[in-house]
Chain A
């Protein structure tokens, strides 16, 4: 159950192959990749700098993955989140899960992303043509996470 915070770019193919390697039970691998957009809230984004809270971040991500494993039938899960300064189109985060079937894999992957966006201690600061600014949290992210509050096992 790897959870990593790193400056370096990740190799998506390698990470997903490693996640899935050696487990013939796996019938589904679902992955989400978050990337930097060039425009946010009406301003051109030149770069984005991500900071986190060392010590809490890993604990929070591991807890989210454990909760996903409790809700769906997963074999493994992976979260890699980058920190430091990134440019538009750079990958920020990779979430991958393996399961026997796609239903559990899709749902668990989306759940992990939704919870990560509202519970893992990362913050983005954008350098825009209008100056530097901290990205504000979105109500839509809270709403997305709230959808999962009623626990349910996904159907087969």
Chain B
């Protein structure tokens, strides 16, 4: 049996995505086969509604894993903090 605490990741939503999702963070338990940023995106988009819209393949969404910018093939592990946000606009 999986440890339900150890099997979670923390999601952080920033800027426009925080407003769209109506939450700044949540803890989720991805299935065993969700082990990359791309797989996580697909899994979250499957929630449908605003998730399906904002995380559709043609939408520009950036990910950071443990505070480092990530690519679609970046691996994710239990305990990671994974942030989702629009392309940055500072400076």
Contact of A118 among B64, B68, B83, B88 (CB under 8 A): B88
Tell whether A123 pairs with B91 under 8 Å between CB atoms, given A53-B64, A59-B68: no
Name the residue among B67, B68, B83, B88 with the largest chain A CB count within 10 angstroms. Answer: B88
By a CB distance below 8 angstroms, the chain A residues around B43 are none
Residue B89 at the chain A interface, CB threshold 8 Å = yes
Nearest chain A residue, comparing its CB with the CB of B18: A51
Q: Can you list 16 A-B contacts (CB < 8 A)?
A: A53-B12, A56-B67, A59-B67, A93-B91, A117-B89, A118-B87, A119-B69, A121-B85, A123-B85, A123-B90, A125-B15, A134-B15, A134-B16, A134-B86, A134-B89, A135-B89
Q: Mark A61-97, 1 if CB is under 8 A from B, else 0.
A: 0000000000000000000010000000000110000
Tell whether A123 pairs with B14 under 8 Å between CB atoms, given A92-B91, A137-B87: yes
By a CB distance below 8 angstroms, the chain B residues around A124 are 89-90
Contact of B88 among A59, A93, A123, A125 (CB under 8 A): A123
Nearest-CB distance from A97 to chain B (Å)?
15
Q: Are A137 and B89 interface neighbours, CB within 8 A?
A: yes
By a CB distance below 8 angstroms, the chain B residues around A55 are 67
Residue B6 at the chain A interface, CB threshold 8 Å = no
We find that the number of chain A residues with CB closer than 8 angstroms to chain B is 27
By a CB distance below 8 angstroms, the chain B residues around A122 are 88-91
We find that the number of chain B residues with CB closer than 8 angstroms to chain A is 17
Q: Are A121 and B64 interface neighbours, CB within 8 A?
A: yes
Nearest chain A residue, comparing its CB with the CB of B67: A56
By a CB distance below 8 angstroms, the chain A residues around B86 are 123, 134, 137
By a CB distance below 8 angstroms, the chain B residues around A93 are 90-91
In chain A, positions 8-45 with a C-beta closer than 8 Å to chain B are 34
Contact of A117 among B12, B83, B85, B88 (CB under 8 A): B88
